[in-house]
Amino acid sequence: MALRRFSMDQLMAHGDLRGVGRQERRERTKGVPLAARGENLYILGKPGAGKTTFLKYLTIQAAQDQLPRIPIFVSLNDWANSPHGQPGNEALLPYIAEQFEICDFPQALSFLEFLLNETERAMVLFDGLDEVKQEDEQRRTLTRLLQDFARQYDQCQCLITCRIASSDYTFAGFRDVEVADFTNEQVTQYAEKWFGQQKRKFELFQEALQHKEHKPLAELCNSPLLLSMLCLYFDDAMEFPHRRAELYEEAIDALLRKWDSTRQIQRDKIYQDLSPRRKQQMFAAIAAQTFGENQQFFKEGALEKMMVDYLARLPNAPAKEDIDGLAVLKAVEAQHSIFVERAKGIYSFSHLTFQEFFTARYIVENEARGTVEKLVQIRLNDRRWREVFLLTASLLDDANDLVRWMQAQINTFVIQDKELVNLLMWANDKTGKAKSKDKVHISATRVAYIFLARALAPDGTLDPASALDPARDPARDLARPRAFATGRALDPVHALDPARSLAPALALSRARSITRTYGLTVGSDYELLYGWQMVSIFARVKDFGLVKKYTTQFQDYFTMVKKHLDTTLPRVADGLAQLPVPHGKAKQAEWKVFATELQALLTRERDFDFERKLNGEQVDQLNGYFEANELLVQCLKLAVVSDREEVLTGLLKPPDGVTQQRI
């Protein structure tokens, strides 16, 4: 893809960086059938993409007569470190013959010359051109030797692998191919084979990757190296860590150091003082700048300049004009694959996850400069920054300030709107009287009452006839408040709409469950408002036959509610007893009267405000308020804080200074 010419707009058409590559409609073909054609192949790929594994697999396939050739595997890194790879003594065929002789192969050189010259059965697999240093022109010399080898022994098939960013060369007579990222199907196949007979563990691994919270981890799976790291972690822990930063740190460490060190590969050192720590600081500075400017793709010149700006600030650094920024960029890309060239002259981080992680690293490491506070003040309502917030919370040694700033910023969502403040005050007052069983459920009780208040003024576009259809959306009620208590996402607009369901038995069961879980009166208030919604629908429906169909259901429901309220809200139960339920032949006018009287009772005894209305802008504000609170809950799961319970019990409270008076 790096050799193709795209504009940034074309790249962004994929949606975001997580879509690039997976959605690229390039021609894909299976590797073994491609190699079986007999062409010379120049195989490019990112670090850990499986280039060496592919050549070794071809070697085994050929040895088992699955390919019609005799395989000869050559490690170019081993060649470079042998006497045959030293300046002035470079030679390929003598090195290959020497490897045969080590294995006690008789007359190795004569056999090789015959095999390469006189038959068409040889397949020589040269692995790791990028692993040969450029110092002393060693790689350039090797490139010439490989080209000469392919020309001299044109009866045999040659395959050469190289990291894509290290490929400044072209080989005449070779077809350039690139190792593709894993597709979702290949990820599944790889993981299934990795876990082998542990079928249940493989299933749990698949389920964990499907969770919304692990979407950033799933993004890493298109790399065999990083996928194997995830499998290894899951095999040991049987779950992914809530603190995903641990895995990102391991992944980056694998790319920066472990991958080469385990294979005893020494790379060219463009700058001796650019330690892994310094590299990560440079990546963090670039990530923070680009992510803050909403740039997922950046031109080569801009990225080069950012690297030079960082390097020039290091101790004993040369002048900016003496720093070869392009050489550093190419070395970083080739050796670590933190950055990749997505199109000709256009770069990005190899994974959006890495850009988010390094942005969070920059914010945490520069906390003394106010980066954490600025993050909250500027980005709290920006969904694109959600993962950065979570990573920041998990990386901070002490997240008390982060939480305090988030609480203060959350209040700004509502404090200037008197209707929203009144709503929060009402929910807080009701919560105080709800007799919640423990502190854990206080915030859940608040959100339950906020949703109940929203249900008092359902969407005016609701079709009463459709609402009477019990098959539609059965009982979407206080599952959302329960979700809030466990930290899952909220959608306040759709969280509570009991008017869409007439399933009385289910409603009663759920109400009693809510009562047991959150407090004595929350479930009772839900029962009452559920009943009021039913009555308000009857009062709006002109189809007499449709209303008659559900009257018996409602009468049974009302009888059960009154019986339940005898123990929880006896005064309300007495008031309900004074309201005769309309019979099956009642007309619309009678239902309107009943709805009015029931509404008056609930206003008087339960302090429900049926006149409260929120416009579209206020609903959006409330949505933002809930999303920010939910993000705070998620951050608390990862953060080191002094009093987690105090923060949780304070969720959704009215802003300080307005709790004693209505605005």
Tens digit of pLDDT for each residue in 266-313? 544 555 557 788 889 999 999 999 999 999 999 999 999 999 999 988
pLDDT of residue 344: 80
pLDDT of residue 471: 27
- Neighbouring C-alpha atoms within 13 Å toward the C-beta of 24: 21
User: Does 264 have pLDDT greater than 50?
Assistant: no
pLDDT of residue 269: 54
pLDDT of residue 304: 92
Q: What is the pLDDT of residues 198-240, one digit of tens each?
A: 999 999 999 988 888 788 888 788 888 888 888 888 888 888 8
Q: What is the pLDDT of residues 45-90, one digit of tens each?
A: 887 788 999 999 999 999 998 998 999 999 999 999 999 989 888 8
The burial of 516, by beta-carbon neighbours within 10 Å (0-12 exposed, 13-18 middle, 19 or more buried), is given as: exposed
Q: What angle do CA 412, 416, 421 make, to 5 degrees?
A: 90
pLDDT of residue 16: 55
- Long-range contacts (CB closer than 8 Å, 24 or more residues apart) made by 292-296: 292/359, 294/384, 296/12, 296/16, 296/17, 296/348, 296/349, 296/352, 296/355
pLDDT of residue 517: 62
What is the spatial order of strands in the sheet that 122-127 belongs to?
70-75, 122-127, 157-163, 40-45, 174-178
For residues 2 and 347, give the distance between their C-alpha atoms in angstroms, rounded to a whole number. 9
**Which segment of 9-23, 458-472, 642-656 scores lowest on mean pLDDT?**
458-472
pLDDT of residue 661: 46
Nearest to 306 by CA among 329, 286, 336: 286
**Residue 455, both tokens:** 């249900």
**Which segment of 186-195, 265-274, 368-377, 461-470 scores lowest on mean pLDDT?**
461-470
Beta strands in 147-281 (DSSP E): 157-163, 174-178
pLDDT of residue 167: 64
pLDDT of residue 497: 33
For residues 35 and 427, give the distance between their C-alpha atoms in angstroms, rounded to a whole number. 69
Which residue has tokens 């290949």?
Answer: 186
pLDDT of residue 267: 47
Task: For the chain, give the mean pLDDT.
Answer: 80
The burial of 217, by beta-carbon neighbours within 10 Å (0-12 exposed, 13-18 middle, 19 or more buried), is given as: buried
Q: Which of 3-17, 233-247, 393-407 has the highest mean pLDDT?
A: 393-407
For residues 471 and 506, give the distance between their C-alpha atoms in angstroms, rounded to a whole number. 13
How many angstroms separate the first and last alpha carbons of the chain? 60
For residues 229 and 191, give the distance between their C-alpha atoms in angstroms, rounded to a whole number. 11
Higher-pLDDT residue of 376 and 548 is 376
Nearest to 223 by CA among 340, 127, 384: 340
Q: The dihedral of CA 69, 73, 76, 79: what is its sign? A: negative
Q: pLDDT band for 460, please (50, 70, 90 cuts).
A: very low
pLDDT of residue 457: 58
Q: pLDDT band for 374, please (50, 70, 90 cuts).
A: very high
By three-state DSSP, how is residue 53 classified? helix
pLDDT of residue 144: 93
For residues 543 and 585, give the distance between their C-alpha atoms in angstroms, rounded to a whole number. 12
By three-state DSSP, how is residue 391 classified? helix
pLDDT of residue 524: 83
Q: What is the DSSP string of 309-355?
A: HHHTTSTTPPPGGG--HHHHHHHHHHHH-SEEEEETTEEEES-HHHH
By three-state DSSP, how is residue 122 classified? strand
The DSSP bridge partners found for residue 161 are 43
* pLDDT over 90 percentage in the chain: 35
For residues 143 and 171, give the distance between their C-alpha atoms in angstroms, rounded to a whole number. 8
**Which segment of 1-15, 40-54, 349-363, 411-425 scores lowest on mean pLDDT?**
1-15
Cβ(141)–Cβ(90) below 8 Å: yes
The burial of 420, by beta-carbon neighbours within 10 Å (0-12 exposed, 13-18 middle, 19 or more buried), is given as: buried
Cβ(72)–Cβ(122) below 8 Å: yes
Average pLDDT over every residue of 170-191: 90
- Long-range contacts (CB closer than 8 Å, 24 or more residues apart) made by 508-514: 508/557, 508/560, 508/561, 508/564, 510/475, 510/477, 510/478, 512/564, 514/448, 514/478
pLDDT of residue 88: 84
User: Does 263 have pLDDT greater than 50?
Assistant: no
Which residue has tokens 């009166």?
Answer: 521
Identity (one letter) of the amino acid at 309? D
Distance of CA 247 to the CA centre of its chain: 13
Beta strands in 221-328 (DSSP E): 298-299
Q: What is the Cα gyration radius of the chain?
A: 34
pLDDT of residue 394: 94
pLDDT of residue 473: 30
For residues 347 and 342, give the distance between their C-alpha atoms in angstroms, rounded to a whole number. 5
Identity (one letter) of the amino acid at 42? Y
Higher-pLDDT residue of 4 and 534 is 534
User: Does 108 have pLDDT greater than 70?
Assistant: yes
Higher-pLDDT residue of 113 and 170 is 113
DSSP 580: P
**Residue 311, both tokens:** 């390097």
Q: What is the pLDDT of residues 118-155, one digit of tens each?
A: 778 899 999 989 888 877 788 889 999 999 999 999 99
